[in-house]
Amino acid sequence: MRWPTRTLGQIATITGGSTPSRTQEEYWNGSILWLTPTDLPMPGKGIADVSDTSGKITEEGLAAISAQLLPVGTVLFSSRATIGKLGISRVPLATNQGFANFIPKNFVDAKYLAYCLLHYTAEITALAGSTTFKEVTKTALKKFKIPLPALSEQRRIVEILDQADALRKKRAEADAKAARILPALFYKMFGDPATNPKGWNIKPLSEFEAQVRYGLGQPPKTSTTGVALIRATNISRGTISPINMICVDPQDVPLGRNAFLKEDEVLVVRSGVYTGDIAQVTNDWEGCVAGYDLVITPGRYLTGEFVESYLLTPFIQKGYFYNLKARAGQPHLNAAQVSATPFLDIPIDLQVQFSEAVQSIRILRKQQGAVSENLKKTLDVLLHRAFTGDLTAKWREAHMKELLQEMEQQAKLLEGN
């Protein structure tokens, strides 16, 4: 039995959201949940059950944007900028304009629809075109087609996918706990830089003989081979990710720019939304090329592990770097500002002890990352099998009579809409 395909406009009511005026205090800090994309996990990181939001608005704020509260079970899909963040409302709420909100019809399971949107995120994102500010319109979404089995088969698919996703969530929770080990070790050995309880001397990074230089900026022509060009999007909280990484021909890298990276150097994102993010160059990335980043060469008085961990502390990220970015027209850091960063003057032998511990922890994290990647691949395979009909083929054969009746009723309901 082949499943029919239906447009999203046929199976759900699609609505947007809005933002009350920020200048009207009476619109804010009320009791109505108001969702923004930042409340949801990044695309591919899961489907959130939304029962709370960081922002709240008042009844006056809701009336000002002429919005109705979205009912429980609404599928929340970020449709602009970062496209593909997903959640399901578990309480009535409103959203800002960054969402397309799907209120499923009676014959559609909300979680099935959410998994469907997850599976087709890349195709939906392509509907946004090649503009700098990407947004998928509700008009385009209404025309997008998805497979629609009977409701009972939708729920069977959700049951199987939920089991696989539960494993991914447990792995993600374990990874999150592991990510807290390094900051905890840093504070134990050196104290919180904000209060400096151990009384370390403080002096600018430049006085440690560290050097700060600029990366390439505008890259040379990309290549299918060659060396990796590490851009801001590849840098995330102490790690360098190969996802969406591009390569350049080393022959095209301008001479005299000192663009090739060495182990132990530290990358600092210098501009844009990720400004101030940090990652050390490990031996996996030695010889690669820095993109639109700043590069710190620690020198003989600092280790790369210490520099990375120190620059990732809230004291620097939410204090020093934040204050610099706040004064700029757009988030931006320059080499002089980074060179002037106030650093704790820690004895090098103590830094080396810390670095050795960091290296051991990184080996474990790399192993954990491999497990996480395998779980993600498993879920991707299951998603593919789910929406081709293969995942529930045997179950469908065993329940064919009931499913045919459901499909007939579903078709009548669709005709009535």
Per-residue pLDDT at 332: 85
**Bridge partners of 48?**
87
Among candidate residues 345, 379, 396, the one where a domain is terminated: 345
The per-residue pLDDT for range 128-140, each reduced to its tens digit, is: 876 667 899 999 9
Distance (Å, whole) CA 293 – CA 232: 7
| Residues 155 and 132 grouped into a single domain | no
What is the residue range of 11's domain? 1-148
* pLDDT at res. 271: 86
**Are 188 and 227 members of one domain?**
no
Of the residues 330, 345, 360, the one at which a domain ends: 345
Sole residue written with tokens 């090329």: 289
Give the lowest-confidence range in 26-35, 186-195, 402-411: 402-411
CATH of the domain at 162: 1.10.287
- Say which CATH number the domain at 129 has: 3.90.220.20
Confidence of residue 327 (pLDDT cuts 50, 70, 90): low
| Mean pLDDT score, 349-354 | 97
Q: What is the distance between the alpha carbons of residues 235 and 349, in angstroms, rounded to a whole number?
A: 28
Number of compact structural domains in the chain? 3
* Whether residue 2 sits in one domain with residue 144: yes
Residue 198 scores a pLDDT above 70: yes
pLDDT over 90 (residue 18): yes
Are 339 and 350 in the same domain?
Answer: no
Of 345, 361, 390, the one marking the end of a domain is 345
Q: What is the pLDDT of residues 212-263, one digit of tens each?
A: 999 987 777 888 788 999 999 899 889 998 888 889 988 888 876 688 999 9
> pLDDT of 150-166, one tens digit each?
999 999 999 999 999 99
Whether residues 261 and 398 fall in one domain: no
Neighbours of 2 (CB within 10 A): 7
Residues 350 and 410 in one domain: yes
For residue 307, the tally of other CB atoms under 10 A from its CB is: 26
The pTM for the full model equals 0.71
Least confident of 35-49, 150-164, 304-318, 367-381: 367-381
User: Which among 210, 212, 316, 318 has a CA at the least distance from the CA of 258?
Assistant: 212
